[in-house]
A and B are shown apart, each in its own frame.
Chain A
Amino acid sequence: MAWTRNVLRVNLSAGTCTPEPLNMTWAQDYLGQRGLATKYFVSEVDPKVDPFAPENELIFVTGPLTGTMASTGGRYSVVTKGPLTGAIACSNSGGYFGAELKFAGWDMLIFEGASPKPVYLLLIDGKAELVDAGSLWGKTVWETEEEIKKVHQDPQIRVAAIGRAGEIGVLYAGIVNDLHRAAGRSGVGAVMGSKNLKAVAVRGTRTDSYPLANPKAFLAATEAAKKVLAANGVTGQGLPTYGTQVLMNVINELGALPTRNHRDIQFEGAGDISGEAMHRKRPTDGKANLVTNGACFGCTIACGRISRMDPGHFTVKDKPQYQGASGGVEYEAAWALGAANGVNDLEALTYANFLCNEHGFDPISFGATVGAAMELYDLGILTKDEVGFELPFGSTEAMVKLAELTARGEGFGKEIGMGSRRLCAKYGRPDLSMTVKGQEFPAYDGRGLQGMGLAYATSNRGACHLRGYMVSPEVLGIPVKMDPQATEGKAAMLKAFQDLTAVVDSAGICLFTTFAWGLADIQPQIQAACEGDWSPERLLLVGERIWNMEREFNLAAGLTKKDDCLPPRLMKEEAKTGPQKGAVSKLDVMLPEYYEVRGWTAEGVPTAGTRARLGV
């Protein structure tokens, strides 16, 4: 079975918590997690809803493999309409929180309405209660977790919380659990803040709530699949040793590392902020930035970075709270806080990353927005008077200052907190915003990797690397090597990746397993855990159904083909250096083909035939 079959509906306006049985027909059609919560969401929420209106819902959801011995089986997602994009938002997080939700006996928490005053939801197994959070409002994520554990005298409670950024509506505020794991993108934390919901705290001790369909087969399947992860070079060695940061030098050398708001495509400081650099002993104190690697719940890969800063670094000199170890930079964060601004100070990046975790905002969108601001400044459109200080590309001081201001919603941090699209529009240069559907790009350039460009343009939640990771074929040769500049076959490959990703997410496991796992490794685990027929064909159909459901929501929300685009810079300005020199995005060639393989009209709308085939 693997589902607890319990959904908790929390009406924040009325202050009520009402359990209801999970819709098992939907579970069979959408599996769990991302797919299942989105099904609930699109069935209950008007696509035109203002993301900050009480009528918007916020759903926390686990998958059937969450809280099991399947490797990486600890993921949960948060689904809502995103304030950054106006599209469906679905942010996935690891850590320990998701598994604890399952142990407490819940598949899903649906938050409706908005609380008149700050509250947090306390779940002790089946007991749900909204608790006054007046004294927590304004506190950091870290303080909130500590405080909740203290008040309830239970250090084993797991907490997912927003920080100041979510409270004040930073449009890319995230929800942070277990201190440094985040449902980070698209502003799900800002929606949580708009509902006056400070945190969800959960402790689960139930032993009987989600029996597996076939325990013996499940243990055998998960054990076999773990061996595959261990034997693979990326999941067995690269990720545990360097984390996702294994990519920094690789992508830079390939000429696909967006630099200084995508003006450049290679960063001269990449080596200084790479995974290798995190291992290097600092000349200042003789210690390395990286202390150890850490795992999310049940994960046998353990890509997480635990870093300790140089206590003498100017950013933390008199601040002991940042001198201990905490979540270090992952690749995307290192890129956004570093290359996107031209900053090459690893310690400063680590500090800014700590702030993102502490105050709950997305380092990708934040860093990329700073990059856009630096370009506006460089062009003389933004002035020192407006910002309050100098803002040239490469300024470490300016980047960390803006992180501090954004976290508190002060000064120019207020503008940065709106994201790059709104910032650039405000200053009359919307073309300088490196976004799709309002969401900032992560760390791969769509000119350098053509398929990745297509993935960004068509991602249902705005620019994103986790909605069809074309880096796998275009760089790593997984499952086959594809020429980064070729357009042929990219549409079909992307569709396959997008659908498979939807399955992986919906199962409750981590996308990083797919460096080693194919559907043939994943399917037996799902089949043994869940009742029903979960053949590979059916799973891919589920993935495709999820993708189309998200698309339909976006179309109904008012997005059109026009929003499946890349910024003019990527379409017109040639890559200046490196192996991809001269490249621009060939999106125009790939997009019509993509619509076709998706079974959509030339306007990007699923045809009647496609709808019927998928049953959406």
Chain B
Amino acid sequence: MQKSLHLDPNKCTGCLQCEMACAWEKYETFTIAKSRIKVFTFHHEGRFVPYTCTQCDEAWCLIACPVDAIKLDPVTGAKIVLEPTCVGCKVCTIACPFGTINYVAQTGKVQKCDLCDGDPACAKACPTGAITYVDADWTGLGKMRAWAGKTDTTAATA
């Protein structure tokens, strides 16, 4: 079974533990500028929205890369940047419609979420359950359940 990151803005408080966890996992720093997941604050709507790569099936970044530096991890489904191959041309950053692959000046390469080899640090760090790592085929399960709970069954059983 493949899993995917499931982001639920309704639960997010904007604490940025996920950003620190990601930066720590990849760079051993808490400096959130290095995080591959970003939490956006829409202050006047009172919303916090975590956002990162959704690992598109047909990945624009992967297709656009002229040197084949982005590979599919067949186990996790993640699209992974092979740093030694990447030449830092940034074509992938243009190709990605979501902006979730970005250049890192410090390394001269690009970076994106790689699902941490199937053990996402951000999901582990999130205190509210706003980030979970769940069955890729059933990311809608929680919402379905919530609606199911609202179904009025009293009429049917009466």
Contact = CB atoms under 8 A, between A and B. Distances in A.
Is B one of A's binding partners? yes
Interface of A: 67-69, 71, 96, 99, 103, 156, 179, 204-208, 215, 219, 226, 230, 240, 291-300, 302, 304, 306-308, 324-326
**Interface of A, helix, strand, loop or mixed by DSSP:** loop
A195 B34 CA distance: 35
Contacts of B23: 207
Given A103-B32, A295-B13, A297-B16, A325 B46 contact: yes
Of B28, B30, B48, chain A has the most CB atoms within 10 Å of the CB of B30
A179 B14 CA distance: 14
Interface in B18-56: 20-21, 23-24, 27-34, 43-48
A590 B46 CA distance: 46
Nearest to B125: A69
A302 B13 contact: yes
Nearest to A320: B44
Interface string B90-122: 000000000000000010000000000000000
Given A67-B30, A103-B32, A324-B45, A230 B14 contact: no
Contacts of B125: 69
Nearest to A227: B127
B20 A207 contact: no
Contacts of B27: 207
Nearest to A72: B15
B15 A306 contact: no
For chain B, which range describes its interface: under 10, 10 to 19, 20 to 34, or 35 or more residues? 20 to 34
Contacts of B45: 291, 324-325
B17 interface: yes
Contacts of A306: 46
A226 B47 CA distance: 23
Contact of A292 (B44, B46, B106): B46
Given A205-B33, A207-B29, A295-B15, 18 more contacts: A68-B20, A205-B31, A207-B28, A207-B31, A207-B106, A240-B13, A291-B46, A293-B13, A294-B13, A294-B46, A295-B13, A296-B15, A298-B20, A300-B15, A306-B46, A324-B43, A324-B44, A326-B43
A159 to B, nearest CB: 13
B13 A103 contact: no
Nearest to A290: B46
A230 B20 CA distance: 19
A230 B126 CA distance: 12
A325 B43 contact: yes
Nearest to B21: A69
Given A293-B13, A298-B16, A68 B30 contact: yes
Closest 10 CB pairs of A and B: A324-B44, A291-B46, A325-B46, A295-B15, A300-B127, A302-B13, A207-B29, A205-B33, A295-B13, A306-B46
Contacts of A240: 13
8 contacts: A67-B31, A96-B16, A226-B127, A297-B16, A299-B15, A300-B17, A300-B127, A325-B46
Contacts of B13: 240, 292-295, 299, 302, 304
B111 to A, nearest CB: 13
B128 to A, nearest CB: 8
A298 B17 contact: yes
Contact of B31 (A103, A291, A296): A103
Contact of B17 (A69, A96, A206, A325): A69
A156 B33 contact: yes
Given A156-B33, A206-B31, A230-B127, A295 B44 contact: no
A240 B14 CA distance: 13
A295 B128 CA distance: 11
Contacts of B21: 69
A547 to B, nearest CB: 30
Nearest to A328: B46
Contacts of A293: 13
Contacts of B29: 207-208
B26 to A, nearest CB: 10
A302 B127 CA distance: 10
B47 A292 contact: yes
A207 B105 CA distance: 13
B50 to A, nearest CB: 13
A294 B14 contact: yes
A226 B29 CA distance: 19
Nearest to B127: A300
A240 B31 CA distance: 26
